[in-house]
Amino acid sequence: MTNPKMIKKVGIIANTAKERSGGYTADLREWLLARGLDVCLEEGIAAKIGVTDQSEKGLWALADLIIVFGGDGTILRTARLLAERDVPIVGVNLGVFGYLTEINLDEMYRALEEILTGNYQVERRMMLQVEIMKNDVILHKCSVLNDVVINRGNLSRLVELETAVDGRYLTTFKADGLIVATPTGSTAYSLAAGGPIVFPELDCIIINPICPHTLTNRPVILPDGVVVEVILNTREPGATVTLDGQTSFPVLYEDRVVIRKSAQVTRLISSPHRGYLEILRTKLGWGGSQTGAPRRENDAV
């Protein structure tokens, strides 16, 4: 975790598809302005609430803190937008709290009071850099927080994915696809595909086949310094590469997907009121009711 810095300018990003995101954003903006802070809004939510006297450029260039209204998907989008910026992100969930949007609406102002006084911790979350290549030409390049998924798309049969680690052949997966995930992404699609839960502040790379033809193909956890290269060996068109579950690109026979640890990280402000273990218990329904959990002063880790 990193030490906090003084907050003077706050940016707000919101999922405009959420019905009440405009009202919450307008109320929070007024609350922040009343405390003498500069506030900048993402273009979409600014238009939704009728704010025109600000430039979105300031959101990316000058903000000391980004507050995100939405769910984990909105955090993933924000993480990619801010990949090259050293700015912490705090997520406020408009539903139940998620793995990444840790703060609930009913505790938002109480949590922000603590954050604005410097009482917060920043978690540095590893990202992956992905390059989609044809021959030696990079078609697409991006950093992702959760995962890179190579899947069969609209193909009617399994894809063949020749996979190497640091130039050394690992295996050719015959499967519905392959997930390459960060520890943060270990509780997303990779978990649904039978992958391990990895503590999010660790640095490692998870390779997890989706419904493999060979049942002995199991998830593998690799050191964070390796380079994973996946070559599509299926001639029939239709396979895709999906980044963080949000952006997809078609890939063709012998296209390569090269994945390594990104030089960028995502900086997430952890909730001052709950730790990762509590979030994990709640999201996965471990131990039934929270009232049955052992009494501990602090399970934040």
Matching residue, tokens 């590469």: 241
Measure the CA angle with vertex 23, ends 20 and 28; round to 5°: 125
Task: Give the ranges where the chain is alpha helix by DSSP (H).
Answer: 21-34, 43-49, 57-61, 72-81, 108-116, 189-192, 276-284
What are the Cα distances from residue 149, in Å, to 155, 184, 266? Answer: 15, 15, 20
Closest Cα partner for 209 from 163, 243, 253, 246? 163
Paired tokens of 15: 């999922």
Which token pair is 291?
């009232």
Tokens coding 198: 């990895």
CB atoms within 10 A of CB 216: 6
For residue 264, give Cα distances in angstroms to 128, 155, 188, 254.
Answer: 8, 34, 20, 28
Q: Which residues of 176-185 are buried (b: 16+ CB within 10 A; e: fewer)?
A: bbbbbbbbbb
For every residue of 260-285, DSSP letters joined together read EEEEEEEEEEPPSS--HHHHHHHHHT
Nearest Cα residue to 180 out of 144, 234, 133, 211: 144
Beta-carbon count within 10 A of 6 CB: 7
Catalytic residues: 72
